[in-house]
Structure 1
């Protein structure tokens, strides 16, 4: 029996959150086509027969001078210290530049490469990319092409990964899929709705906090506030006659309802915390970056 912690790492939009949701066969990690959407670490527990892999989904690696982005990258790199193995996630369309930056971190942890989005590439493109990685074959334990659109790849991926984990009893009940607090999952789903409903810089200067969750017999009631940095962004989030915040609530309610398979009511308010995303202490508070 093998059990251990696995950090998912890679550039923004490489498909880390989608990969975690695919391995769990349930969505617990927010997904957005916009860059730098994932902010908090999410834990997903995946069984491969008797072996247990506990995946840590992390913010994407990227270069940025912004305080928020720098702290998210620090959080991703720090998660390597909590892991037994690493999965470097890269799109088949990516250059090797991001992988080379990952190697420059000089981690001694064993790792495999998950090559994502192969369903969007030709066979020639896939073979070309696999060949490019061969010059680093002494660094990785395996390279696994994967598409989240076909379930068959899941077993191939897990069979390549679990031998890298130490022999150890299960850390968690095999029936669990996550240890992440439901409030944190809900707040990320609300943030995903903000990314979907509002464009440009507003989502990047906003976050969500779930203040109350109440389970009733026939419905889950959630109260949450959206934090943003100025009155202009607050007005955009609310929208004319409250149209935008209503739409955000509808999208968030749908995601959360699909997650826990029940009716959901969400009450959203918007509050201003001026320039929170440039203030290191505020960022650590909202993103729960303890000790980073």
Structure 2
């Protein structure tokens, strides 16, 4: 009997969740940014390991805030934790242990979890061992602790062998050939959002979103029309840039990402629209796909 199950990948904002998942699946699917709170929704990324299927659930970072959009993001992470067979908690090696303690309080169902010590490339072996020692007092809480270096020593099997051990025996839930349950439209949206994060100054990306207006898949080219949503006219000016330089740069970056994934040419047309206060009211959030309970 094969093993198959859902594994939620959680941690504080910017812990390296999306980077880890892209590395495990061998494709760029999840949005990655060095800026915190880039991931807003749960998404499934499917990894086959020998005869077993692991459905990883990428989640927004666990954090507390009063803002409605951030409340939606926290709810997404907590729901993923409650619905899965196993949790991977990512703890950057330089983090204080308090983030892990906060996670333990939020893990209401006491779902089994593995602790991944990430970003170990930036510290010495002695510092890694010292941090592992700090976590030893919680050894009755986690199933395993794994130091992770996706740039150097760690192999996929170092993580997946341990993950599969804690999954139930079950037939595959998805076709083994697919990498994600996300629609292409949603992946295109995330690639455009990522390009905004990479090309616009720090404060603007968090008040932007993207609506995919149209996707026309032709034999040799994908034609995509999308609208970047902002809250203020000043933000619209920054997204467009002098002589439309900024929006051209965003479009070029997004197009490269899309073409790499699809293997086809992409014609991408971007527009900018102002939707005042959309991050601060339930109606504005719902229009863009963020339903607050």
SS at match of 2:37: coil
Give, in angstroms, the shift of residue 81 of structure 1. Answer: 2.4
Are the counterparts in 1 of residues 11 and 91 from structure 2 also a CA contact under 8 Å?
A: yes
Are the counterparts in 2 of residues 238 and 245 from structure 1 also a CA contact under 8 Å?
A: yes
Which of 246, 270, 282 is the aligned partner of 1:280?
282
d(CA) in 2 for partners of 1:291, 1:243: 36
Give, in angstroms, the shift of residue 55 of structure 1. Answer: 0.6
Which of 91, 108, 111 is the aligned partner of 1:109?
111
Give, in angstroms, the shift of residue 63 of structure 1. Answer: 2.3
Q: TM-score, normalised by structure 2?
A: 0.96
Are the counterparts in 2 of residues 46 and 54 from structure 1 also a CA contact under 8 Å?
A: yes
How many residues align? The count is 291
d(CA) in 1 for partners of 2:68, 2:187: 23
Q: TM-score, normalised by structure 1?
A: 0.96
Are the counterparts in 1 of residues 3 and 167 from structure 2 also a CA contact under 8 Å?
A: yes
Q: Could you say which residue in structure 1 is the equivalent of 2:90?
A: 89
Q: Note if 1:71 corresponds to 2:93.
A: no
Aligned ranges 1:100-249 → 2 under 5 Å: 100-105=101-106, 106-150=108-152, 152-249=154-251
Are the counterparts in 2 of residues 208 and 224 from structure 1 also a CA contact under 8 Å?
A: yes
d(CA) in 1 for partners of 2:223, 2:248: 16
Are the counterparts in 2 of residues 75 and 289 from structure 1 also a CA contact under 8 Å?
A: no
Are the counterparts in 2 of residues 90 and 113 from structure 1 also a CA contact under 8 Å?
A: yes
d(CA) in 2 for partners of 1:33, 1:26: 18
d(CA) in 2 for partners of 1:200, 1:111: 33
SS at match of 2:171: coil
Give, in angstroms, the shift of residue 153 of structure 1. Answer: 2.2
Cα 1:30/1:152, change in 2 over 3 Å = same
Q: Could you say which residue in structure 1 is the equivalent of 2:12?
A: 11
d(CA) in 1 for partners of 2:9, 2:153: 19
Give, in angstroms, the shift of residue 282 of structure 1. Answer: 2.2
Give, in angstroms, the shift of residue 291 of structure 1. Answer: 6.7
